[in-house]
Protein backbone atom coordinates (compact mmCIF):
# COMPACT_ATOMS: atom_id res chain seq x y z
CA UNK A 1 0.00 0.00 0.00
CA UNK A 2 2.85 2.39 0.80
CA UNK A 3 4.51 1.71 -2.56
CA UNK A 4 1.29 2.45 -4.42
CA UNK A 5 0.80 5.65 -2.45
CA UNK A 6 4.32 6.92 -3.06
CA UNK A 7 4.40 5.82 -6.70
CA UNK A 8 1.05 7.46 -7.38
CA UNK A 9 2.25 10.71 -5.88
CA UNK A 10 5.36 10.68 -8.07
CA UNK A 11 3.29 9.98 -11.20
CA UNK A 12 0.78 12.72 -10.38
CA UNK A 13 3.59 15.12 -9.49
CA UNK A 14 5.21 14.51 -12.85
CA UNK A 15 1.91 15.12 -14.63
CA UNK A 16 1.40 18.39 -12.75
CA UNK A 17 4.97 19.48 -13.53
CA UNK A 18 4.37 18.89 -17.23
CA UNK A 19 1.10 20.83 -17.04
CA UNK A 20 2.69 23.76 -15.19
CA UNK A 21 5.63 23.78 -17.62
CA UNK A 22 3.14 23.95 -20.50
CA UNK A 23 1.34 26.88 -18.86
CA UNK A 24 4.27 28.83 -17.39
CA UNK A 25 7.17 27.81 -19.64
CA UNK A 26 10.21 25.61 -19.18
CA UNK A 27 11.74 27.74 -16.43
CA UNK A 28 9.76 25.60 -14.01
CA UNK A 29 11.53 22.39 -15.07
CA UNK A 30 14.75 22.92 -13.10
CA UNK A 31 12.87 23.45 -9.83
CA UNK A 32 10.56 20.53 -10.64
CA UNK A 33 13.53 18.24 -11.31
CA UNK A 34 15.20 19.21 -8.05
CA UNK A 35 11.96 18.71 -6.13
CA UNK A 36 11.44 15.30 -7.74
CA UNK A 37 14.94 14.17 -6.76
CA UNK A 38 14.40 15.32 -3.16
CA UNK A 39 10.97 13.66 -3.11
CA UNK A 40 12.42 10.33 -4.23
CA UNK A 41 15.07 10.60 -1.50
CA UNK A 42 12.47 11.41 1.14
CA UNK A 43 10.22 8.58 -0.01
CA UNK A 44 13.18 6.20 0.19
CA UNK A 45 13.74 7.28 3.79
CA UNK A 46 10.06 6.65 4.53
CA UNK A 47 10.29 3.26 2.81
CA UNK A 48 13.18 2.11 4.98
CA UNK A 49 11.25 3.12 8.10
CA UNK A 50 12.73 6.46 9.15
CA UNK A 51 10.12 7.98 11.47
CA UNK A 52 11.39 11.55 10.96
CA UNK A 53 10.87 11.15 7.19
CA UNK A 54 7.31 10.03 7.76
CA UNK A 55 6.44 13.18 9.70
CA UNK A 56 8.47 15.44 7.41
CA UNK A 57 6.47 14.04 4.49
CA UNK A 58 3.19 14.91 6.20
CA UNK A 59 4.49 18.41 6.98
CA UNK A 60 5.67 18.98 3.42
CA UNK A 61 2.35 17.83 2.02
CA UNK A 62 0.61 20.38 4.28
CA UNK A 63 3.01 23.07 3.04
CA UNK A 64 2.35 22.08 -0.59
CA UNK A 65 -1.38 22.33 0.02
CA UNK A 66 -1.01 25.82 1.49
CA UNK A 67 1.12 26.87 -1.49
CA UNK A 68 -1.51 25.58 -3.89
CA UNK A 69 -4.16 27.66 -2.10
CA UNK A 70 -1.91 30.73 -2.37
CA UNK A 71 -1.40 30.07 -6.07
CA UNK A 72 -5.14 29.77 -6.61
CA UNK A 73 -5.77 33.02 -4.75
CA UNK A 74 -3.22 34.77 -6.97
CA UNK A 75 -4.59 33.49 -10.28
CA UNK A 76 -8.24 32.72 -9.49
CA UNK A 77 -8.48 30.37 -12.41
CA UNK A 78 -10.54 27.18 -12.57
CA UNK A 79 -7.44 25.18 -13.43
CA UNK A 80 -5.65 26.44 -10.32
CA UNK A 81 -8.73 25.68 -8.21
CA UNK A 82 -8.63 22.10 -9.47
CA UNK A 83 -4.91 22.06 -8.69
CA UNK A 84 -5.62 23.15 -5.09
CA UNK A 85 -8.39 20.58 -4.66
CA UNK A 86 -6.13 17.90 -6.09
CA UNK A 87 -3.46 18.75 -3.51
CA UNK A 88 -6.09 18.71 -0.77
CA UNK A 89 -7.07 15.18 -1.82
CA UNK A 90 -3.43 14.06 -1.87
CA UNK A 91 -2.66 15.76 1.45
CA UNK A 92 -5.57 14.08 3.20
CA UNK A 93 -4.82 10.68 1.66
CA UNK A 94 -1.12 10.75 2.54
CA UNK A 95 -1.71 12.19 6.00
CA UNK A 96 -4.29 9.59 6.94
CA UNK A 97 -2.30 6.74 5.39
CA UNK A 98 1.01 7.65 7.03
CA UNK A 99 -0.43 8.50 10.42
CA UNK A 100 -3.46 6.24 10.88
CA UNK A 101 -2.96 3.15 8.71
CA UNK A 102 -2.09 0.15 10.86
CA UNK A 103 -0.78 -1.73 7.82
CA UNK A 104 1.66 1.02 6.90
CA UNK A 105 2.66 1.44 10.55
CA UNK A 106 3.35 -2.28 10.83
CA UNK A 107 5.37 -2.23 7.59
CA UNK A 108 7.47 0.71 8.79
CA UNK A 109 8.05 -1.00 12.15
CA UNK A 110 9.19 -4.09 10.29
CA UNK A 111 11.53 -2.00 8.13
CA UNK A 112 13.02 -0.37 11.25
CA UNK A 113 13.50 -3.75 12.95
CA UNK A 114 15.50 -5.06 9.96
CA UNK A 115 18.33 -2.60 10.66
- Domain ranges (residues) in the chain: 2-113
Mean pLDDT of 57-83: 79
Picking from 3-7, 27-31, 39-43, 47-51, which range would have the lowest pLDDT averaged per residue?
27-31
Q: Identify the pLDDT of residue 52.
A: 92
Whether the predicted pLDDT of 99 surpasses 80? yes
Q: Identify the pLDDT of residue 11.
A: 85
Mean pLDDT of 93-99: 85
CA distances from 26 to 20, 35, 77 (A): 9, 15, 20
Q: Identify the pLDDT of residue 56.
A: 92
Identify whether the C-beta of residue 36 lies closer than 8 Å to the C-beta of residue 14: yes
CA distances from 3 to 8, 75, 104, 115 (A): 8, 34, 10, 20
Identify whether the C-beta of residue 51 lies closer than 8 Å to the C-beta of residue 108: yes
**Taking the model in full, what pTM does it have?**
0.73
Q: pLDDT tens across 16-38, in order?
A: 778 777 777 777 778 888 888 88
Amino acid sequence: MLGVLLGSFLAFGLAIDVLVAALDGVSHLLAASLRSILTVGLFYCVWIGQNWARWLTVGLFAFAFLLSIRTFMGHQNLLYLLFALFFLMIFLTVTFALTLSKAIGAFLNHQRSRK
